[in-house]
Amino acid sequence: MSDLATLAAGCDAAPSVPILRERGQRSVFCGLTGIIWLHRKIEDAFFLVVGSRTCAHLLQSAAGVMIFAEPRFATAIIEERDLAGLADANDELDAVVTRLLERRPDIKLLFLVGSCPSEVIKLDLSRAAFRLSQRFAPTVRVLNYSGSGIETTFTQGEDACLAALVPILPATTARGLLIVGALADVVEAQFRRLLAALGIGPVAFLPAGQANALPPVGANTQFLLAQPFLADTARALEARGARRIPAAFPLGAEGTALWLAAAARAFGIAAPAIEVVLAAPRARARAALACHAPLLAGKRIFFFPDSQLEVPLARFLAREMGMQPVEIGTPYLHRQHLAEELALLPEGVRLSEGQHVERQLDRCRAAAPDLVVCGLGLANPLEAEGLATKWSIELLFTPIQGFEQAGDLAGLFARPLQRRALLAV
């Protein structure tokens, strides 16, 4: 079932990092999960999953169960008669969308989200989106992407969603910076202020908070990835002429400084001018990190694959908090986008791509790390075995990027250890 292969890294920017590639059971979410944070980010968008009862159940289970009265996501559940051809699935879908849009006149952008069953029965959602777009134009725009588990892992759902937005971004020839990847509003506002102080502009964000405020793109657009999992989105932007600014990701004081400095250099800002802007917030971030350092320094940490944030997180924890990564598991390793990160990883750390969860659990138990970063399915069982864990989904739901959040990010890893020290039961 698995072809265990240890290969030398082929990326010239990175030291030769050995990578363990595994195949087997992958204990990861599918791309539909991204809807949970994307629907909060784009205020007038609705996400309609075309899938099965399993998809609906996943969404409500992952959403922390039924928080929102009438959320801006739903599932059109495929039934037996849709499969048997008794009902034309396209007619059914049109009827569901019509009903939905009647109920929700506030919706300006509708995503038809493909799932495993819709992919397997080859329901063409791009044609459906085109057809429905024409019917509901200009009030509602209908787009499609796949969040299916057979094609996407967890955060790749956001990548697919943003990539679907790229073709409809307005064109521009003006020079500008585009920040790509969903960020909490507070983080976005901080970055706007810092980039303005650096003298970079105009600055736009993808996704935007409103469907009709899409950022423009063109040959003079340079873009900076705020998240490490946006391979397809980056490719789509490059196809529209935009150029990626290679950079480490804005996690921790160092990562944030490197990320902002990369943008500044690309916009021709001189090093002393960059330093003037970054010095104070970086010092503040370092001070916040120092509070957590005594607890985290020297501790060994093991990452199960989950969000593709694992490599930048390990870099941050190793370099700024003095932790020792034992294994950094990631569902996919995008060598090009992670080149700056890989170069900063400590020598000899084990990287693993893909997953064979049973073997990885064996390795984890054998390594007996001080902290395990893993998904919700594994966390409590590992705690019961005596290992301290940090559930990884919180890293997507919590603002962690930027200088002002660096302390919070360290705090997420410190809290499980603090709590263990505190409890006397």
Partner 1 sequence: MQLTLWTYEGPPHVGAMRVASAMRGVHFVLHAPQGDTYADLLFTMIERRAARPPVTYTTFQARDLGGDTAELFKSAAREAYERFQPDLLLVGASCTAELIQDDPGGLARALALPIPVVALELPAYQRKEDWGAAETFYQLVRACVRPAPRAPRVAGRPARCNILGPTSLGFRHRDDVREVSGLLAALGVEIGVIAPLGASPADLARLGEADFNIALYPEIAGTAAQWLHRNCGQPTVRTIPIGLGATRDFIAEVAALAGVDPAPLLAGEAARSAWYARSVDSNYLTGKRVFIFGDATHAIAAARVAREELGFAVVGLGSYARGFAREMREAAASHGIEALITDDYLAVEAAVAAAQPELVLGTQMERHIAKRLGIPCAVISAPVHVQDFPARYSPQMGFEGANVLFDSWVHPLMMGLEEHLLGMFRDDREFHDGAGPSHLGHTAPKLVDRVPVEAAPADEALSWAADAEREMQRIPFFVRGKARRNTERFAQERGIATITMDTLYDAKAHYAR
- Per the structure block, which two tokens stand in for 343? 């170069």
Strands 19-22 and 5-7: antiparallel
Please answer whether residues 72 and 39 qualify as being in contact, where contact means their C-beta atoms are separated by less than 8 angstroms.
Answer: yes
Compute the distance between CA of residue 278 and CA of residue 258 in angstroms, rounded to an integer. Answer: 10
Report DSSP letters for 162-175, one per residue.
Answer: HHHHGGGSPB--S-
Does position 16 bind partner 1 by CB under 8 A? no
For the chain, what is the radius of gyration of the CA atoms? Answer: 22
- Which of the stretches 162-170, 204-212, 267-275, 375-383 binds partner 1 when contact is defined by CB under 8 A? 375-383
Does position 377 bind partner 1 by CB under 8 A? yes
**For partner 1, which residue of 42, 89, 400, 414 counts as binding (CB under 8 A)?**
89
Please answer whether residues 279 and 308 qualify as being in contact, where contact means their C-beta atoms are separated by less than 8 angstroms.
Answer: no
Does position 133 bind partner 1 by CB under 8 A? no
- Per the structure block, which two tokens stand in for 96? 């569901």
Binding residues for partner 1, rule CB under 8 A, total: 62
Alpha carbons within 13 A on the beta-carbon side of 312:
31
Does position 416 bind partner 1 by CB under 8 A? no
351-370 binders of partner 1 (CB under 8 A): 358
- Which of the stretches 31-39, 186-194, 208-216, 316-324 binds partner 1 when contact is defined by CB under 8 A? 31-39
- Which of the stretches 56-64, 130-138, 313-321, 402-410 binds partner 1 when contact is defined by CB under 8 A? 56-64
Compute the distance between CA of residue 380 and CA of residue 378 in angstroms, rounded to an integer. Answer: 6
Q: What does DSSP assign to residue 34?
A: G
Does position 121 bind partner 1 by CB under 8 A? yes
**For partner 1, which residue of 6, 16, 61, 398 counts as binding (CB under 8 A)?**
61
3-class secondary structure, 126: helix
The candidate with the shortest Cα–Cα distance to 154, out of 401, 403, 391, is: 391
Shortest Cβ 35–partner 1 spacing (Å): 13
- Which residue(s) pair with 73 in the sheet? 47
CB closer to partner 1 out of 150 and 283: 150
Shortest Cβ 224–partner 1 spacing (Å): 30
CB closer to partner 1 out of 28 and 258: 28
Interior/surface letters 161-184, b for 16+ CB within 10 angstroms, e for the rest: bbbbbbeebeebeeebbbbbbbbb
- 232-271 footprint of partner 1 as x/- string (CB under 8 A): ----------------------------------------
145-184 binders of partner 1 (CB under 8 A): 148-151, 153
**For partner 1, which residue of 17, 22, 29, 34 counts as binding (CB under 8 A)?**
29
The candidate with the shortest Cα–Cα distance to 371, out of 424, 305, 296, is: 296
Residues engaged in binding partner 1 (CB under 8 A): 1, 24-33, 50, 52-54, 56-58, 60-62, 65-66, 69-71, 74-80, 82-83, 87, 89, 92-93, 95-96, 99-100, 116-117, 119-121, 148-151, 153, 358, 375-381, 384
